[in-house]
């Protein structure tokens, strides 16, 4: 845990910078607009899921055993098919969501600090710290969601936006650590 005592300030600064950047990106930047679309029969869809407990659903539902049924497999393959997330009621407040996001940024910055502290020496050059921390933070913020395109058909545009955002977060994290490296 020595890395925490050595790097608590860049961990905190990077987390704050990413938090601010995230807020600006989601509230003001145009690339995040229109990612979600309205269903053609929105009220019908709401009525259909009314009463469903909070959770993640697949329609048509399929698991390993139901995919053995030719009729069910045809329904799934011919579509439409989709994933639906039903939020609990009452939903989390905006403040709680923001606080939880900041905790995630602190965790990511701490993992980045752990890796950097074990890979770099005291007095490492700004560029070397920037490179290692930037690549590590970029990977943490960006790459994990790509599998959602493969398995859950998340639109490519949304993943590209996630990668762009992750690049910004990675660069901010790299700058914070490189400028404050021991």
25-52 per-residue burial string, b: 16 or more CB within 10 A, e: under 16: beeeeeebeeeeeeeeeeeeeeeeeeee
Cis ω for the linkage preceding 80 (within 30 of 0): yes
How many domains is the chain built from? Answer: 1
User: pLDDT-based confidence at 46, cuts 50/70/90?
Assistant: very high
Kindly state whether residue 50 falls inside one of the protein's structural domains. Answer: no
Q: Is residue 16 part of a domain?
A: yes
CA 146 – CA 96 distance, rounded (Å): 26
Per the CB < 8 A criterion, the answer to whether 17 and 173 are in contact is yes
Task: Quote the domain boundaries for residue 109.
Answer: 2-36+90-180
pLDDT class of 68 with cuts at 50, 70, 90: confident
Q: Is 79 domain-assigned? A: no
pLDDT at 90: 79
Please give the mean pLDDT across all residues of the chain: 92
pLDDT band at 112 (very low <50, low <70, confident <90, very high): very high
pLDDT value of position 7: 95
Any domain includes 160: yes
pLDDT digits over 80-103, tens only?
888 899 988 878 899 999 999 999
pLDDT in tens, 118-148: 999 999 999 999 999 999 999 999 999 899 8
Residue 97 forms part of a structural domain? yes
Q: Band of the pLDDT at 178, cuts 50, 70, 90?
A: very high
SS3 for the chain, per residue? CHHHHHHHHHHHHHHHHHHHHHHHHHHHCHHHCCCCCCCCCHHHHHHHHCCCCCEEEEECCCCCCHHHCHHHHHHHHHCCCEEEEECCCCCCCHHHHHHHHHHHHHHHHHHHHHHHHHHCCCCCCHHHHHHHHHHHHHHHHHHHHHHHHHHHCCCHHHHHHHHHHHHHHHHHHHHHHHHHCC
Confidence of residue 76 (pLDDT cuts 50, 70, 90): confident
Question: Which pLDDT does position 56 carry in this prediction?
Answer: 92
Is residue 171 scored above 80 in pLDDT?
yes
Q: 3: pLDDT confidence band, cut at 50, 70 and 90?
A: confident
In a domain, 59, yes or no: no
Looking at the chain, how many residues does it have?
182
Instruction: Tell whether 45 is covered by a domain.
Output: no
């Amino acid at each position: 845990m020595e890395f925490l005592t050595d790097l608590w300030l860049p961990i905190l600064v990077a987390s704050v910078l990413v938090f601010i950047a995230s807020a600006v990106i989601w509230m003001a930047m145009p690339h995040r607009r229109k990612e979600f679309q309205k269903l053609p029969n929105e009220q019908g869809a709401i009525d259909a899921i009314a009463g469903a407990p909070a959770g993640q659903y697949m329609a048509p539902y399929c698991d390993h055993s139901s995919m053995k049924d030719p009729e069910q497999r045809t329904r799934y393959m011919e579509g439409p098919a989709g994933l639906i997330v039903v939020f609990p009621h009452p939903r989390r407040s905006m403040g709680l969501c923001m606080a939880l996001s900041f905790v995630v940024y602190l965790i990511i910055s701490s993992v980045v600090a752990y890796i950097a502290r074990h890979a770099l020496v005291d007095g490492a050059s700004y560029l070397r710290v920037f490179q290692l921390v930037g690549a590590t933070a970029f990977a943490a913020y960006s790459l994990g969601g790509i599998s959602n395109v493969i398995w859950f058909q998340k639109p490519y545009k949304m993943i590209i936006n996630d990668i762009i955002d992750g690049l910004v977060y990675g660069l901010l994290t790299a700058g914070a650590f490189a400028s404050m490296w021991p």
